[in-house]
């Protein structure tokens, strides 16, 4: 079964829209919070952290519910509902007269943020198992495109009005809902749907699915290490390069754009031929190894050219993400692909709760002038070690039984 090209395009555009909006939020939401708190950056920073934690918590609760609902009612309504929830969130932030309003909008967005899990379930429905890694690579490329464009676009729009980026995000999210309503067919046949159960839809019940098969659980643990290692980028990378090189926001935006372009080239152009030639298992371990090397280079970069040398390795890390998704989907049936993606979203939400504390505290403790060991790149070394551990675990859980 293959969905029309317009339907697959909608799924990819949905991911791009989400990542553009996320990139814009990274660049503009702190500024809005500063304005709402009377121009006090320390207070704004604390509020921003609490809002981010609440968003991750709501995603942890909501993702398995939305995933189970997609197994019961199909992918189409959940994808459209999630996009609508995002549009309402952005409109609420654009209108927000107070920080409390922002909290309400972000909590709604966190609960309905099932676009990525539902997009993954949709791809798993329409792509045969041997082609899923390549399809997930396209989703990864969409991530790169969106996150390359978002920060720069957010900065440009906010120069006119601090709230304009939020109106833009609301508009493109709503336009995507209308577009999807007309072009997106359902991918999950009625006979393959599963009854909704709160026992399976709650976060702990959802995670039980990952323990239903030894290799599935092992791969989920690899995914946990993969997601956690990624946390160094949104939580520390900006402050790290500012500390190391004194870069401005504009220069950091260029760095993010180059990194995103490299990710697009790898996941959009290399995943399919490399997985076809070497297999998902090999590409999973190779990608994790490349990511470990890339983060080690980032951590040791005393001058900007060394930092840029790490970008290709971090981009090749994307091979691991697509290959891992392809392997994971082989261990559940069609009626459980939504639950699987919801469970993986729960895993990612857990790492989103851990990452800010792990990486910011690591950076702060090792970058301080009076630290016993001054090592500004320590947080990136932690990510490198996490990926080394992931590669070793992936080798063990995917090897053929003897």
Greater pLDDT, 83 or 229:
229
pLDDT at 1: 40
Quote the percentage of the chain above a pLDDT of 70: 90
3-state secondary structure the chain: CCCCHHHHHHHHHHHHHHHHHHHHHHHHHHHHHHHHCCCCHHHHHHHHHHHHHHHHHHHHHHHHHHHHHHHHHCHHHHHHHHHHHHHHHHHHHHHCCCHHHHHHHHHHHHHHCCHHHHHHHHHHHHCCHHHHHHHHHHHHHHHHHHHHHHHHHHHHHHCCCCCHHHHHHHHHHHHHHHHHHHHCCCCCCHHHCCCCCHHHHCHHHHHHHHHCCHHHHHHHHHHHHHHHHHCHHHHHHHHHHHHHHCCCHHHHHHHHHHHHHHHHHHHHHCHHHHHHHHCHHHHHHHHHHHHHHHHHHHHHCCCHHHHHHHHHHHHHCHHHHHHHHHHHHCCCCHHHHHHHHHHHHHHHHHHHHHHHHHHHHHHHHHHCCCCCCCCCCHHHHHHHHHHHHHHHHHHHHHCCCC
Give the tens place of pLDDT for each residue, 305-363: 999 999 999 999 989 988 888 888 887 777 777 778 777 877 887 888 888 778 878 88
Please check whether residue 377 is in contact with residue 74, taking contact to mean a CB–CB distance below 8 angstroms: no
pLDDT at 227: 92
Is residue 98 over pLDDT 70? yes
Of 5-14, 166-175, 268-277, which range is least confident?
Answer: 5-14
The average pLDDT across 61-77 equals: 80
pLDDT at 2: 44
Is residue 42 over pLDDT 60? no
Highest mean pLDDT among 127-131, 264-268, 340-344: 264-268
Average pLDDT of the chain, as a whole number: 81
Dihedral angle, C-alpha 56, 352, 302, 143, nearest 10 °: -70
Which fold does the domain 5-181+200-398 belong to in CATH? Growth Hormone; Chain: A; (1.20.1250)
Instruction: Assign 41 a pLDDT band (cuts: 50, 70, 90).
Output: low
Distance between CA 345 and CA 342 in Å, rounded? 5
pLDDT at 299: 95
Greater pLDDT, 164 or 117:
164
Please check whether residue 344 is in contact with residue 337, taking contact to mean a CB–CB distance below 8 angstroms: no
Highest mean pLDDT among 8-17, 111-120, 123-132, 148-157: 8-17
Domains of the chain, by residue range, sit at 5-181+200-398
Distance from chain centroid for Cα 149: 15
Is residue 250 over pLDDT 70? no
Q: Which residue has the tokens 């949104």?
A: 234
Is residue 225 over pLDDT 80? yes
pLDDT at 226: 95
Alpha helix segments (H runs only) across 279-329: 280-300, 304-316, 318-329
| pTM for this model (two decimals) | 0.72
The average pLDDT across 48-56 equals: 75
Highest mean pLDDT among 82-86, 171-175, 328-332: 171-175
Is residue 27 over pLDDT 70? no
Highest mean pLDDT among 128-137, 150-159, 187-196, 376-385: 376-385
Instruction: Assign 390 a pLDDT band (cuts: 50, 70, 90).
Output: very high
């Amino acid at each position: 079964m293959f969905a029309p090209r317009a339907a697959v395009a909608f799924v990819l555009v949905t991911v791009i829209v989400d990542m553009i909006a996320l990139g814009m939020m990274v660049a503009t939401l702190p500024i809005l919070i500063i304005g709402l708190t009377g121009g006090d950056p320390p207070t704004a920073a604390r509020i921003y952290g609490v809002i981010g934690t609440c968003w991750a918590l709501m995603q942890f609760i909501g993702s398995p519910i939305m995933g189970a609902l997609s197994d019961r009612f199909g992918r189409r309504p959940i994808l459209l509902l999630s996009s609508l929830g995002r549009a309402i969130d952005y409109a609420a932030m654009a209108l927000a007269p107070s920080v409390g309003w922002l909290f309400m909008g972000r909590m709604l967005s966190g609960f309905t943020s099932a676009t990525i899990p539902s997009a993954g379930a949709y791809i798993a429905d329409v792509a045969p198992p041997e082609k899923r890694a390549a399809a997930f690579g396209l989703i990864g490329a969409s991530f790169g495109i969106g996150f390359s464009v978002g920060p720069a676009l957010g900065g440009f729009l906010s120069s006119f009005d601090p709230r304009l980026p939020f109106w833009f995000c609301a508009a493109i999210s709503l336009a995507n809902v209308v577009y999807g309503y007309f072009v997106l067919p359902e991918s999950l046949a009625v006979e393959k749907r599963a009854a909704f159960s709160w026992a399976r839809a709650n976060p702990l019940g959802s995670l039980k699915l990952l323990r239903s098969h030894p290799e599935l659980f092992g791969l989920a643990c690899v995914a946990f290490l993969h997601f956690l290692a990624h946390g160094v980028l949104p939580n520390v990378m900006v402050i790290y390069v500012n500390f190391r090189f004194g870069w401005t926001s504009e220069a950091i935006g260029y760095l993010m754009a180059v990194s995103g372009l490299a990710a697009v080239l790898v996941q959009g152009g290399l995943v399919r031929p490399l997985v076809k030639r070497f297999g998902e298992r090999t590409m999973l371990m190779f990608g994790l190894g490349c990511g470990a090397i890339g983060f080690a280079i980032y951590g040791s970069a005393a001058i900007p050219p060394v930092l840029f040398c790490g970008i290709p390795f971090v981009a090749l890390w994307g091979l691991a993400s697509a290959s891992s998704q392809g392997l994971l989907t082989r261990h559940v049936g069609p009626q459980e692909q939504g639950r699987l993606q919801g469970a993986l979203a729960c895993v990612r939400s857990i790492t989103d709760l851990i990452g800010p504390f792990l990486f910011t505290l690591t950076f702060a403790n090792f970058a301080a002038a009076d630290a016993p060991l001054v090592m500004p790149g320590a947080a990136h070394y932690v990510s490198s070690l996490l990926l080394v551990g992931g590669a070793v675990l992936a080798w063990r859980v995917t090897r053929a039984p003897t």
